[in-house]
Each structure stands twice: as C-alpha cells, then as structure tokens.
Amino acid sequence: MSRQASRLDQKKVNSELFTLTYGTLVTQLLRDYENVEDVNKQLERMGYNIGVRLIEDFLARTSSGRCTDFKETAEKIQMGFKMFLGISPNITNWSPAGDEFSLIFDSNPLIEFVELPDNFMQLKYSNILPGVLRGACEMVQMEISSWFVQDQLKGDNCTELRVKFIKRLEDAIPAGED
Amino acid sequence: MADESLIEFLHAEIVKYVIDSNDDKVNTKCSLQKYISTLEYLGYITGFRIIERLTREWSPFKNELETMKFLCTDFWSSIYMKQIDNLRTNHKGVYVLQDNAFRYLVHLSSQKQYLEFAPRFVAFTCGLIRGALSNLGITCLVTAEVDQMPACKFHIQVQRS
C-alpha cells in the first residue's frame, strides 16, 4: 500500500487528540490529588473556565439571540454539542415544571479509549461537561446545575446528563453606579 | 469530531492548571522549570499515544528524514490545521521545524508583547513531538524557541546511542 493512499483524516485525528489530551489531564489530576472527589471538583472548575470562554465562540458563530424559555436553551445546548464535539445528544425527561431535562448521549467522545479501574468508581470522568454548561449558561444570565445520572463508564447503556434551571441572573450594576 | 477551539481552550486550561499547582513555591525559577517539565511530560504521553493509533495502517518510514517529513506535513496539518513552514536539518541529527503561525500563540500576540509567557504555551507541543517520535523509534530532545510571536521554532536533537 502506498503511503499517499492513507492520508490522515483531519477530523478523526482532531477528535483523538482531544480525547487523548483530556485523558492525560485526568491522569495527571488523579496523580496530583489524593481524593477522587477533588478531581471531580477540579474537572468541573476547568469546564467552567472553558464554558465561560466557549460561549462567546458559540454566540459569534451561531448569531443566536437570547433564549425566551428553557426549552430553547436546551436546543441551543444540543446545538453546541453538535458544533464543538460533533455529537447530537437527545433531549428527554422534561420535569413537569419544565425546569429540568436530560441529555442522552449514545456515545461520548471523551471516553472513547477509557476504562475505569475498580478503585476509581467514584470518578466522574467526563465531569468537565457539566462545568462547561454551567460556565456557558452563566455568561448568558442563567444559573443552572447539571450532573450525570447515568454513565457508560459505569456500565450504563448510555450517558445521561441532567440539567436543572436554578434562576435567572440579573444584570449586575456597573461599579460606581448605584 | 472535536472543534479546534475546544482543543485550544482545553490546552489553555491544562497550562493554567499546571502553573497554578506549581506556583505556590517561593523560588520562581525552580517552579518555572518544574511546570515546563510537567507540561512537556503531559505532551509526551499524549503524543506517544496518538501516534500509535495514527500510523497503525502506514508502511514503516524509510528513514529519519521521512519520519520528520511526515511530522511536518501530515501530522502537523492534522492537529494544527497547517503544515510546518520550514524544515531544516544538518543531516547529523539536528532538525529545526519552523512554524510561522503556531496555533497556541496566534491569539496571544503578533509581536514581542507577552513574549515571557511563550514557553508555557509551547512546552506541551515539545512533548507532543518528542512522544510521537519516541513511538516511531527516534529518541530525541525537543526544545522550542520563540523570538517573535506567533512564530515558533522547534529544535529536535536526535540522540544516537
């Protein structure tokens, strides 16, 4: 087989680079912290920092306006996953009040080459995602919280991320103006 | 598919994390070396693993230069969306890869501003190159040199035993 015949597929390489880089990061965190809970927290915090910046990229590229209701927000989040990770999670399990929904992932690019050892069952491997959502939503005046209810790494059929609306943040008054 | 901006933000977070976790020491010079080497190590692991998957179906490279060419063209354009602009070698195991618009520096500055922060943004990639080459059977030392952002030169020194 000639070498030219098998050019690298840019999209595939990029996705693998992302997955492996993330894996390296998680490994390093596990080495640095003694407590798995701390690793979960740190991942969430990093996700938050990413989300805060990622939302600008999202808004600039989609030129989407403010969400009128939480349903619209859910669709935008779905769109974001498509745009940045190339996956389309399903939106289901709306709470009766309409302030909670679930994102169902059939596949999760973050965990592509991952297996959890038995002694790390408390580790929320993909915990960067809830952080990203929280950071991104906070920048558009929405306080949300999100967490994993199902995880493929822990033997579930799919990965389920629950998102809950907490409150609308009011525009802060600029310093010096009362 | 992961978007490139996502990779860029993740990289920035890794850099920030490594620096924060080493920054509590009073002796700044020591911690500078320490976080650069941590970042380099993280890059090494990533590079080692990624090359293992990428070149699985490739025929083996004929020689060292071929390997370097692969790195500059296919590998580089797959991860950084552009090829290396210039590859030079003295044919004695020293290679210089020059990227005139290195991805992680492009959004930082286009002159000498913030130059003092450049090492932390290239350390991971130095490791990435070293890890990739290591898995292709080439043991080497990789250092980076930034004179003016966003251009960056990677010096590869192959170690022959």
- What pLDDT shows up at residue B24? 62
User: What is the separation of C-alpha A156 from the centre of its chain, rounded to a whole number of angstroms?
Assistant: 18
Mean of pLDDT over chain A:
89
Residue type, A141: Q
Measured between alpha carbons, how far is B27 from B12 in angstroms, rounded to an integer? 24
Q: From the list A20, A54, A57, which residue is nearest B50 (CB)?
A: A20
Q: Is residue A49 part of a domain?
A: yes
Residue of A4, A28, A44 to mutate for B, most B C-beta atoms under 10 A: A28
pLDDT one digit per residue (tens) for chain B, 161 residues: 678 889 999 999 999 999 888 766 556 667 778 889 999 999 999 999 999 888 887 788 888 999 999 999 888 988 888 899 999 999 999 999 999 999 999 988 888 888 988 999 999 999 999 999 999 999 999 999 999 889 999 999 999 87
Distance from CA of A73 to the nearest CA of B (A): 20
Distance from CA of A2 to the nearest CA of B (A): 8
Q: What does the pLDDT average to over A113-135?
A: 91
- What pLDDT shows up at residue A175? 67
Are A21 and B46 in contact (CB < 8 Å)? Answer: yes
A23 contacts on B by Cβ (under 8 Å): 46, 49
Q: Are strands A159-168 and A100-105 parallel, antiparallel or unpaired?
A: antiparallel
- In what helix (H) or strand (E) does residue B141 lie, and over which residues does it extend? strand B140-145
Residue type, B73: T
Q: Is residue A87 part of a domain?
A: yes
Burial of A114 (0-12, 13-18, 19+ CB in 10 A): middle
Gyration radius (Cα) of chain A, Å: 18
Model confidence pLDDT, tens digit, residues A24-61: 999 999 999 989 999 999 999 999 999 999 999 999 99
Are B5 and A54 in contact (CB < 8 Å)? Answer: yes
pLDDT of A1 > 60? The answer is no
Residue type, B118: A
Model confidence pLDDT, tens digit, residues B65-92: 999 999 998 889 888 888 999 999 999 9
Are A15 and B2 in contact (CB < 8 Å)? Answer: yes
Question: In sequence order, what are the residues at sequence separation of 6 or more whose Cβ sits closer than 8 angstroms to the Cβ of residue A134?
Answer: A44, A47, A48, A51, A144, A145, A146
Contacts with A, B 96-125, CB within 8 Å: none
Domains identified in chain A, total number: 1
Are A17 and B7 in contact (CB < 8 Å)? Answer: yes
Query: What are A's interface residues with B at a Cβ cutoff of 8 A?
Result: 1-3, 6-25, 27-29, 32, 42, 46, 49-50, 53-54, 57, 83-86, 109
Domain of residue A142, residue span: 15-168
Measured between alpha carbons, how far is B93 from B142 in angstroms, rounded to an integer? 12
CB B6 within 8 A of CB A85: yes
Measured between alpha carbons, how far is B12 from B33 in angstroms, rounded to an integer? 18
For B56, which residue in chain A has the nearest alpha carbon? Answer: A6
The CATH number assigned to the domain holding A76 equals: 3.30.1380.20
Provide the residue ranges of all domains of chain B, joining segments of one domain with +.
4-158
Contacts with A, B 10-69, CB within 8 Å: 10-11, 13-14, 16-18, 21, 38, 42, 45-46, 49-50, 53-54, 57-59
Q: Is residue A146 part of a domain?
A: yes
What share of chain A in percent tops pLDDT 70?
92
Q: Is residue A2 part of a domain?
A: no
Q: Please state the ipTM of this predicted complex.
A: 0.91
By three-state DSSP, how is residue B1 classified? Answer: coil
For B4-158, CATH gives: 3.30.1380.20
Q: Which pLDDT band holds residue A2 (cuts at 50, 70, 90)?
A: very low
Measured between alpha carbons, how far is B40 from B15 in angstroms, rounded to an integer? 10
